[in-house]
Amino acid sequence: MYEMVCTRSKRMKYDWREAGEEWSAPWGSSPAQWTGTIFPRIRDCLPVGTILEIAPGFGRWTYYLKDYCEQLWIVDRSTECIEACLRRFAAESRVRCYLNDGRSLSMIPDDSVDFIFSFDSFVHTNRDVVEAYLRELGTKLKIGGKGFIHHSNFGEYVNSPRERLPELIAKPLIKAKILDWAHHRNPRMTADLFRALCARHGLHCITQELVNWRGRRLIDCLSLFERSDSTEQKFTTIIRNPHFMCEAARIRRQRRS
């Protein structure tokens, strides 16, 4: 069953000719990235009854998530992405596709979702949009339901001497791979801020893994969180992992051998 719910969407300008596969290049392929990196980090959350995926793009991870639930709801602000997913998963009765305004989840019933997933999208998202989604997730998740969101931690570095370099100096150093760059990560989001926003909206970060992305700095974060009805202070496990891209390279080599 499929539904397209239109709530003021803007067509995204990204060139989808590779359907998002280009983002899995360090792993060699999206199947390798899913099997070697993503699934091991969420396996304890699956299978479940209902999964909500936010910003699926052309369904790179939807393809795998659908096999771990009874129903999978995907929400994206891009008409192009939703239409691509409608075509790709036309034969999958458990998948429902929704077009939204890029910040609200009014089409999702409260207390209905067991697991939230988003990868490769929230890294670019503004703070107000991140908070708008977390506010929604605080009501859409079931009590005890969990979520896994890949988001920016670039805000940790925005005041560093590296970021104060003039572009005229930084650009050739980036090209020479002496400096890494931010890959369009949002500069106003950090792991600490994401954790605080979760707490504000009834969510608790269980773990946060800070990882590098095609460089040395830990500009990304993988946050695993849950909805809790408890006001008790809980501990968050923080992992600083500068070897994330080494993991990707190892997986790519293993797939080739």
Q: Considering the entire predicted model, what is its pTM?
A: 0.90
Which domain, by its residues, includes 203? 21-157+185-256
CATH number at residue 61: 3.40.50.150
Identify whether 165 is part of a domain. no
Identify whether 168 is part of a domain. no
Q: What is the number of structural domains in the chain?
A: 1
Identify whether 173 is part of a domain. no
Tens of each residue's pLDDT in the chain, 257 residues: 334 333 333 334 667 777 778 889 999 999 999 999 999 999 999 999 999 999 999 999 999 999 999 999 999 999 999 999 999 999 999 999 999 999 999 999 999 999 999 999 999 999 999 999 999 999 999 999 999 999 999 999 988 777 777 778 777 766 777 768 788 899 999 999 999 999 999 999 999 999 999 888 999 999 999 998 766 768 999 999 999 999 999 999 998 76
- Token pair in block for residue 219: 């500009």
Nearest Cα neighbor of 120 from 22, 254, 43 is 22
Identify whether 235 is part of a domain. yes
